[in-house]
Structure 1
Amino acid sequence: MMASWRPMGIVVSALIIFSSIAYLLLSLTFIHPIRHQHTTAASSSHFRAPAINPFAELDGAEASQIYTFLHQTPNSLNLSTDTRGGNQIYLIELLRPNKTDAVEYLESHKARPDRWARVSSLEIHDDDAFIVDYMVGPLPPSNDTQILPLEYNHNSGRNYVQSPVSDVFAMLDWALSIGENASDITQELLGATTNRDDLDDPDVLVIGCRPSFLHAGRTVQWLEFFGSGMDSDSRSILPQGLYVKLDIPGANPATWTTGQWFYNGILYDNETALREAIKSPDFVKLELNQDGSWSDTEDFETSFPERDMPPPLSIQPYGPRYHLDRKEGFISWMGFSFYLATAQATALSLFDIRYNNTRMIYELGLQEALAHYAGVEPLQSGLEFLDTFFGMGSMMFSLVPGVDCPGHAEYLDMSYHKGGKMYTNRNAICIFEYTSDAPLQRHTSTFSATVSRNTYLVVRSVSTVGNYDYTIDYIFYLDGSIEVKLRASGYIFGAFHAEPRGHPEPHDGHTNEYGYRIHDALHTSMHDHVVNFKADMDICGTSNTLVRTSIEPLQRTYDWDKPEVSGVRNTMHMVHKSVTHETGLNWPSNSHDMYLVTAPGSVNKWGETRAYRIQPGTGMGNPAHLTILNSTTLGRSALWSANDLWVLKNHPDNEPASAHHLNYLAPLEPLVDFEAMVDGEEIEEEDLVVYFNLGSHHVPSSQDIPNTLMHTSASSVMFVPFNYFDYDVSRAMRQGVRIDRRREAGKSMSKNDGSDKEEVRKSRVARAENENKDDEGVKYFGARYEGPVTVSEKMLSPDLSHYMKERLDGQWKAVRNSVGGGLPGLFVGKERAEDDGGRRLDW
């Protein structure tokens, strides 16, 4: 066992905790689609990773051994096998090794670090419920295996959070009963009711809620009625404008109460007061927000003639140029190499990213995804989501071959253990090489034209969390650059547009404080997406300094300007300043600053300090940080969102992340408090970690109906070599053509016209290519498409029938929609599935 993992004290008593609803819902049985696998030589048995992947997730055998060990070995967890009560294990996954141990193993290829597991349990003590984290290891289980509180990586010093709910089924039943008890109100105002007896009723109401206060096991939430969105999963744009306040002081259902009701801008003390108000002749009913074809993502009725013609596609004519070791999750391409690893909360991460076998980044991966709303009604005014709470890894659902990724992409699965079972999301990760629509380099001169293709490698996954689908790309370029790109699509979380029924009022442009009207009774709500990533930088080792290079205006006198310039010349220059202490930074206006992670002790051939530049990449503009200052709802749970990027002294063995997925249940006292990590340490020539944010200020408009489009929501950050190499290393790997233009002008050019240099250059190129590809002045560097190319129909139009063959009784949607089944965003009343006891559950 690693020394840095030794706790102070003994194991915490297991009579502490229980669950949040979301985690139990995610443990439903789910049969995933079969894999569409494109077999290639590059991923064959001939290619092997240089070492066993130390970051690889626990496999089914390892997880089952741990699960059995914890249930059959005497310990303090007091586990129960009753799924409706007692302490439960709901999550088992790898506890990733410390960086110091992993780096030593990867460099020396000696003994692999001991395998440890992170185990989360749902535990109950009297009327209180908790979620507790343990570390179990070394693995496989034996007499030497220990069960210890997992505290070393939580700067709170705790290994648990309190949950306000101890019985998911009781919470579901209560939410449904609220709708049933107020069925006369909902029928009168909304023209519909909740209906637990007919789950396929397209006119049924569902219920969504969000916490407005959450602390020490108590939550206050606002509940709103929504349309079912049965056909298109569009319920998040079907709010109905009727709200009720819930007070949940503790985990005991007997203490839960309903409070005020809200309708058309008026607060009513209780449902009785609302009933009496409805009877008044002066009561104003609002326009209904009804579902229809407007919420469908597809249009099968209208079309342009060209729509019936298949569009151009990317093909891979001679097989992949990357190499993949599927067993170890290891990829090599054009000088790059790295390992893949997944986690239930934070999805896909990359480790040990190297170029020409030199590590540049130890870890690159998602930390947290925040969406924070503002609005003029109880739900939207404080709505926020921290999406790792719902499991952005377990929500990495199957990619659609040929649409999510090119037909020639290869796919990897994502497996995880929850609730005593092992689940596999097929086709959760795709890998492919792609050629951009724009060249990597081009130049036309008097004598020649040279153009190079821009090809790059993409590792992609999509996490579908409720109404949003987040596409995350890790992109590798021929010049040594790396890009992390985020795109969002799916349904927005809409607000109800309050307008009297039958008496629409003219639109008032001055009312657009939070959004815009986009349908009969639907309004948009402005919100910020801030998605945090970690980059553990190792530029020429672990002794790095962040240099802020500013481009600034300058007034200076130059001797050679006189007498024409009598005074100073107005010009510009660069000012270089090291960032000396941990801090947060923002992207500068006018892009006048460059952030360089430098290696002060290492220079290139020309004596310049080697570095990688961090900069906004391709997308809709600079990635955003959170607009809201000191968010009332978030508390201290996501303080990394206050700036665009942060640079910290790296403490990878006890500060491995900027966030924790359980921060959502303890926003005022989070397990990981990011501000405590930024404690002013000196960071010159230290092991540095950069936390950076992607995202946008999303102000939806009518173009977001029915779904937000990815090209309007993309943001990225790039890591670009800056004097790191002696020259542009892509020259040796890129493909393209050089055309001799002098032949067009004839051969009458004089030998003294300055073409001597060009002749020398031509001869060098010719010798390099053995002069056997010279075709009337056209010379190709790299391969040409010279042989026959066969593209199978399966590559162009992959078979997708497996998506329907293995969809069992709504379970696909049940699991997908369960992301809304926790304290925030709970939707009740639409979907159907079975728990292990055969009981029907209504979401």
Structure 2
Amino acid sequence: MASVTRYWLQVSAFIAFLFFVTTALVPFISRVHISFLPPPAPQSPSAGPFRAAKHNVWADLSEEEAQDLTKFLFSKSELNLTEALNATSPDNIISNDNQLVLVELLQPNKTDILAYFNGSSDPPKRWARVVVDQRTTEEAQYVIYAAGPLPVTKSTEIRPLEYCYNAGRNHALNPIADQEDMAKWLIGLAMAASDITLELLGREVNPYDPNTLDASARVVPYQNGTITGWVELLGPSVNVDSNFLLPQGLYIKIFVSGRDSQNWRILQWYYNEVLYESADHLRGAMKSPTFKKSDLNLEGNWTALEDFSEGLPDRKNPPPVMVHPSGVRYNVDEKEKFLSWMGFELFITTSSDTGVALHDIKFNGESVIFELGLQETYVTYASGDPKQGGQDFLDSGFLMGFRMSELVPGYDCPAYATFLSTEYHIQGQTITRKNTICIFEYTADHPLQRHTSDAQVSIGKNTYMVVRSVSTVGNYDYTFDYVFYLDGTIEVKVRASGFIFGVFWNENSSPRDEYGYRIQNAAATAIHDHVLNFKADLDIAGTSNTMVRVGIEPVTKEFSWDDKETTPRNTMHLVPRTIEKETGINWAPNAGEILLVVNDNATNAWGEKRGYRIQPGSGIGAPSHRIAANSTSSGLAAEWATQDLWVLKRKDTEPKSSTIFQAFSPTDPLVDFSKFVDDERVVNDDLVVFFNLGSHHVPHSGDIPNTLMHTSASSVMFTPFNFHDSDPTRRSAQGVRIDNNDGTTKTRYYGGTYQEGVSLKATDLEPDQSGYDGPLEKNHPEYQVNGVTDFIALAFGLF
């Protein structure tokens, strides 16, 4: 009876709304028919190899180009270069000769690239960025040159590279040029205090014994060449890198002036919340009967990353895995590093300082983003101890691109992913890093769209493509994702994992929970900011763009259709405000604002300006900027970190927001980002957005031993907004519509489906990891990573 009643109710409803349904049905049916069109077929093998239509003008130097350029540079007497292997001491510490640090492509200017892409000129001439470690002069410097055009001919020249650094110079001070002397001096001062360390910490410092203490320094360089900093003693670790968690509570303040070690000295000692003016002062205090020693912070099971026991019962069964039996649906031109998938086209490049960048991103043949990539990673700490309390890092100085890790199939990326290798030209060698970039398509655990009605359900799969890399910088591994969705959305996402910097804890420490939380008997955490700066050179349907802030605001309003006695309605409305001049912007509270980049000269079928929305994406919350407004450590070196994002007029003379040498002269950096914001108009112009990802990391016991990636993720999404006439995913998504009328089920699929079973190999589910090479290629046995990047790493606190 109930089913009969329901049937007549449906009939009555149909009759009552017949006119409405009849007028609406025809356009609705036409749209439904479009949704069942299959996606474009992937290129078949018979069509020939996939090739980019244009050369990758951003591609780094080939090994041949780098070798020829290196020979050319060594022929220049004014550079006075010494071969790295001849200049390196047996301990692999760089000596006081001028050396070639790196060569890589100098990115062409956008104006030249667009002329080539538009067919009005030849490809831009290739030039290289050259970094020389100049130590033969009285004041050691890193000097940056431009060399070209390439390939090397009689017309090739070398000139100072200044135009892209608004400091007006092409060099940066090297505050710790004599690294061998510095290393010996630091080891010597620690060994000279063996009686102190043995008494207080139960161990001494011995660089040749892994069971002794480690020393970690954080120095603050200044432009006059004088640096101060605190050396922290860390406990030994059997578990790799767990010494980051093992501060021992003894700190030594050092002073370094100039290159003569006779001018270097120890300023103070700090132990158990007491400052001592000298080692003898500390020794005298230690003899007092009232002197109290702190507990030791020792390694144990708590610092181990893995638990190889059986664990929980369900752990014995392996988890689900993603497979792709039909093969990949994207196309890659590996020579040009050109990628195509479901309407997207883009070029992939890498640099030694910041890793992966994407260029000339198009969707369905139309321009969206000309350049998208990391600029800098800034981490600043707060703590009650002298080292963590003044510690901050600008990680591009560690060469984050060069430190891209080899990815592990089945864990970093699905087993079926496409892996790309990268090359770097360091100290006259070409170093190949295998499998540092992966590309894969993935289906999310939630649908792209769905709707259920009385008689049917329609649901589409949410499939997307990812370009991924991982950079390991000391204690942290950063996973970088560029994610592409079927509707034209582009997401930039960062996840972090690794060891936090532990802080020594005892009952005399700063007020409990002021800077972090206790995690062990003698260890605590330190709050710190992660702020990662990215550049997005937006070309929404062309280079003439405008940013509009659309507020979602409350309003009290009377409407013409209200009765005169009706109280005015409290509601909300949209309030657009065009950004007229360059400025910084923070994400609005309560998500009460939409940020749009639109093309005033391009409209969709409904007369709305075509654009993209910029918004926080998936993660633990809206990305943050740094808390400290005026940093006493980084000075002007990271001014982009003071707000969430910036909208600027694009200029060839402002290609990057930072450099690898920022921290060497923080009060007068090579690139002062604050000078980028100079009150220029940004209406109907070529815009660039510098945006930040990251979070205020407040570590707790769950971060021990390693921070978990799902608790440390942040992202920004660029989403089509009136860019299309309707949802474009109907032509590319896979899905199903299930109709159920009178108990009869009819299933209709759009897009391809699996018609029969598949056969899988064990390696499809659990890849063979025996080919994993680790951080460096085995075909360079003479190459040592410490010898290559110590030119920066020592000055950044990796003693």
Provide TM-score, normalisation by structure 1. 0.86
- Tell me the CA shift for residue 176 of structure 1: 1.3
Aligned to 1:616: 616
CA distance in 2, matches of 1:640, 1:102: 27
* Conservation of the 8 A alpha-carbon contact between 1:127 and 1:250: no
Distance 1:705-1:42 versus aligned 2 partners, 3 A rule: farther
Aligned to 1:834: none
Aligned to 2:23: none
Aligned to 1:58: 61
CA distance in 2, matches of 1:194, 1:44: 65
* Conservation of the 8 A alpha-carbon contact between 1:466 and 1:816: no
Identity within the alignment, %:
47
Give the counterpart letter for 1:594 in structure 2.
I
Aligned to 1:324: 332
Q: Deviations over 1:175-207 (max 9, x none)?
A: 211211111111111111111333xx3x31111
Report the 3-state secondary structure (helix = DSSP H, G, I; strand = E; otherwise coil) of the residue aligned with 1:472: strand
Aligned to 2:431: 423
Distance 1:110-1:559 versus aligned 2 partners, 3 A rule: closer
- Tell me the CA shift for residue 548 of structure 1: 0.4
CA distance in 1, matches of 2:584, 2:403: 31
Q: 1:477 aligns with which of 455, 474, 485?
A: 485
Q: 2:70 aligns with which of 67, 71, 84?
A: 67
Is it true that 1:541 corresponds to 2:542 in the alignment? yes
Aligned to 2:798: 826
- Tell me the CA shift for residue 425 of structure 1: 1.1
Distance 1:109-1:489 versus aligned 2 partners, 3 A rule: farther
CA distance in 2, matches of 1:163, 1:44: 54
CA distance in 1, matches of 2:431, 2:336: 19
CA distance in 2, matches of 1:124, 1:814: 18
- Tell me the CA shift for residue 275 of structure 1: 1.3
Give the counterpart letter for 1:590 in structure 2.
N
Q: Deviations over 1:302-329 (max 9, x none)?
A: 5012112111011111000000011110
* Conservation of the 8 A alpha-carbon contact between 1:163 and 1:251: no
Matches within 5 A, 1:27-42: none
Q: Deviations over 1:117-175 (max 9, x none)?
A: 00000112544210010000001112111110000000110100111112222222222
Aligned to 2:748: 779
CA distance in 2, matches of 1:524, 1:439: 39
Q: 1:305 aligns with which of 305, 313, 325?
A: 313
Give the counterpart letter for 2:671 in structure 1.
V
Give the counterpart letter for 1:92 in structure 2.
V
Aligned to 2:633: 633
- Tell me the CA shift for residue 213 of structure 1: 5.0
* Conservation of the 8 A alpha-carbon contact between 1:246 and 1:259: yes
Is it true that 1:96 corresponds to 2:107 in the alignment? yes
Matches within 5 A, 1:716-755: 716-744=715-743
Q: 1:314 aligns with which of 303, 311, 322?
A: 322
Matches within 5 A, 1:522-561: 522-561=523-562
Matches within 5 A, 1:148-227: 148-198=159-209, 201=210, 203-212=211-220, 214-227=222-235
Give the counterpart letter for 2:650 in structure 1.
N
Q: Deviations over 1:485-537 (max 9, x none)?
A: 0000000011111348xxxxxx99x6211000001111100000000000000
Distance 1:796-1:569 versus aligned 2 partners, 3 A rule: same
* Conservation of the 8 A alpha-carbon contact between 1:585 and 1:643: yes
Aligned to 1:835: none
Is it true that 1:461 corresponds to 2:462 in the alignment? no
* Conservation of the 8 A alpha-carbon contact between 1:637 and 1:670: yes
Unaligned runs of 5+ in 1: 1-39, 501-506, 747-775, 828-843
Report the 3-state secondary structure (helix = DSSP H, G, I; strand = E; otherwise coil) of the residue aligned with 2:763: helix
Unaligned runs of 5+ in 2: 1-42, 88-94
Report the 3-state secondary structure (helix = DSSP H, G, I; strand = E; otherwise coil) of the residue aligned with 2:587: coil
Give the counterpart letter for 1:221 in structure 2.
G
Give the counterpart letter for 1:571 in structure 2.
T
Give the counterpart letter for 2:772 in structure 1.
Y
* Conservation of the 8 A alpha-carbon contact between 1:466 and 1:820: no
* Conservation of the 8 A alpha-carbon contact between 1:736 and 1:781: yes
Q: 2:78 aligns with which of 72, 76, 79?
A: 76
Matches within 5 A, 1:218-367: 218-367=226-375
* Conservation of the 8 A alpha-carbon contact between 1:51 and 1:109: no
- Tell me the CA shift for residue 668 of structure 1: 0.6
Is it true that 1:375 corresponds to 2:391 in the alignment? no
- Tell me the CA shift for residue 111 of structure 1: 2.2
Give the counterpart letter for 2:242 in structure 1.
S
* Conservation of the 8 A alpha-carbon contact between 2:162 and 2:170: yes
* Conservation of the 8 A alpha-carbon contact between 2:490 and 2:719: yes
Aligned to 1:668: 667
CA distance in 2, matches of 1:293, 1:43: 57
* Conservation of the 8 A alpha-carbon contact between 1:213 and 1:633: no
Provide TM-score, normalisation by structure 2. 0.90
* Conservation of the 8 A alpha-carbon contact between 1:499 and 1:521: no
- Tell me the CA shift for residue 43 of structure 1: 13
Identify which range, 150-159 or 161-170, moves more after superposition. 161-170
Aligned to 1:685: 684
Aligned to 1:588: 588
Report the 3-state secondary structure (helix = DSSP H, G, I; strand = E; otherwise coil) of the residue aligned with 1:741: strand
- Tell me the CA shift for residue 646 of structure 1: 0.3
Give the counterpart letter for 2:669 in structure 1.
P
CA distance in 2, matches of 1:229, 1:818: 22
Aligned to 1:598: 598
Give the counterpart letter for 1:149 in structure 2.
P
Aligned to 2:38: none
Aligned to 2:28: none
RMSD over aligned Cα, in angstroms? 2.1
* Conservation of the 8 A alpha-carbon contact between 1:239 and 1:494: yes
Give the counterpart letter for 2:228 in structure 1.
V
Distance 1:357-1:89 versus aligned 2 partners, 3 A rule: same
* Conservation of the 8 A alpha-carbon contact between 2:60 and 2:105: yes
CA distance in 1, matches of 2:45, 2:282: 67
Report the 3-state secondary structure (helix = DSSP H, G, I; strand = E; otherwise coil) of the residue aligned with 1:822: helix
Give the counterpart letter for 1:447 in structure 2.
A
* Conservation of the 8 A alpha-carbon contact between 1:95 and 1:135: yes
Q: Deviations over 1:733-763 (max 9, x none)?
A: 000100002242x7xxxxxxxxxxxxxxxxx
Give the counterpart letter for 1:556 in structure 2.
K
CA distance in 2, matches of 1:230, 1:215: 39
- Count of aligned positions: 745
Is it true that 1:133 corresponds to 2:136 in the alignment? no
CA distance in 2, matches of 1:415, 1:368: 21
CA distance in 2, matches of 1:122, 1:538: 38
* Conservation of the 8 A alpha-carbon contact between 1:390 and 1:819: no
CA distance in 2, matches of 1:161, 1:679: 24
- Tell me the CA shift for residue 816 of structure 1: 11
Q: Deviations over 1:362-392 (max 9, x none)?
A: 0000000001001101101110010000011
CA distance in 1, matches of 2:126, 2:697: 42
Report the 3-state secondary structure (helix = DSSP H, G, I; strand = E; otherwise coil) of the residue aligned with 1:224: strand
* Conservation of the 8 A alpha-carbon contact between 1:585 and 1:644: yes
Identify which range, 658-667 or 639-648, moves more after superposition. 658-667
* Conservation of the 8 A alpha-carbon contact between 1:551 and 1:593: yes
* Conservation of the 8 A alpha-carbon contact between 2:398 and 2:789: no
Aligned to 1:511: 512
Distance 1:809-1:78 versus aligned 2 partners, 3 A rule: closer
